[in-house]
Amino acid sequence: MRLGDDQIATFDEQGYLFLPEVFSAAEVAVLAREVPGIFAQERQEVWRERDGKAVRTAFAAHTYNEAFRRLAAHPRMVGPVRQMLGGDVYVHQFKINGKQAFDGDVWQWHQDYGTWARDDAMPEARAMNIAVFLSDVNEFNGPLIFIPKSHTHGTLKAGHDLATTSYPLWTLDRATVRELVEAGGLVAPKGPAGALILFHSNLVHASPANISPWDRTIVYVSLCHVDNHIRRFKRPEWIAHRDFTPIQCLADDCLLELASQAAE
C-alpha cells in the first residue's frame, strides 16, 4: 500500500491519517480470535488495570503469537511508514490495548515520542504509530482522541505520572492541553474493525475510560527508522525492543494464508 500526495499532505498538516477500510473482515477475524487467549495468559507482557483483572495492554504479542507476528510485517502497515520515514524500519513497540467493556481505564494526555526520548533515548521523532481497529470503535467505548496539529509543537514538557493508572506515563498538564485544544480542536476517529490510523509520534492524544458494554480492542505498532534506534535500555525489552533488524514484509495475503492453514 502506497500513500498518495494528498494523503501525505493531510498527515503532515493534521498529524494523523485515518484509513477506514484497510483490513477485511476475514483478516480481522484471524487476529481477533487470538486476543482472548493472549489476554488470558499470566505473563509479564500482559499488563492489567488497577483491579488486577481487566487487561490494559498486552505487549510484544508479535514475539509469541503467529497471527500478530504476521501483522507486524504486513506490507499494508509497514509500506506507508517506510515511505514517510524514508527507509527501513524496525518494531520499537507492539501492544494490543484492551479497553475492556465497563473496566477499560483512561489513557492520559501524552506524546509517545516524549516517552521514547526520556525513557529510551530515541534520538529523533523519526518513528510513527499505527493503530489497527480489531473491533468497531464508537463514541461510547473509549475512542482514541487527537489534538490535530499538536505534533508541530515538538516535544512538550511532561510529568511522569506513576499513580493515575496502572501504567506509568509521561503526561501533559491541563494548561498545556487546554492551549493546544484551543488552537487545534479535538477529533476522535471512529469506524469499523479493519480501519487503520497512522499518527505522528509527537501528536498529543488520549482516550477516555470505556464504561460502555462494548470492548474496544486496538493494536498499536510503533515503527522506528533503523538509524534512529534507541540508545538506552532502561525499560524491559518487551516494552522497548532492542532488535533493530529491518522488517522484511510478508505477502499481502499472509493473514488469509494463516486462516487457510488453520482450516486444513
Query: What's the mean pLDDT in 69-91?
Result: 97
**Could you please report the per-residue DSSP string of 96-160?**
EE---TTTBPPEEEE-HHHHHHHHH---SS-EEEEEEESS-B-SSS---EE-TTGGGG-SPP-EE
pLDDT of residue 261: 76
Q: Are 224 and 90 a contacting pair, CB within 8 Å?
A: yes
pLDDT of residue 53: 81
Q: Are 3 and 176 a contacting pair, CB within 8 Å?
A: no
**Could you please report the per-residue DSSP string of 68-98?**
HHHHHT-HHHHHHHHHHHTS-EEEEEEEEE-
First CA to last CA across the chain, in angstroms? Answer: 29
pLDDT of residue 170: 87
pLDDT class for 263, splitting at 50, 70, 90?
Answer: low
pLDDT class for 166, splitting at 50, 70, 90?
Answer: low
pLDDT of residue 163: 63
Residue 80, Cα to own-chain centre: how many angstroms?
A: 15
What value does the mean pLDDT of the chain take? 94
Query: What's the mean pLDDT in 115-144?
Result: 96
Q: Cell 521514547 appears where?
A: 116
The strand pairing partners of 90, in sequence order, are: 224
Q: Which of 68, 110, 96, 133 is nearest to 201 (CA)?
A: 110
Question: What would the pLDDT profile of 228-249 be if each residue is shown by its tens digit?
Answer: 999 999 999 999 999 999 999 9
Q: Cell 501483522 appears where?
A: 71
Domains of the chain: 5-263 (2.60.120.620)
DSSP reduced 3-state for 260: helix
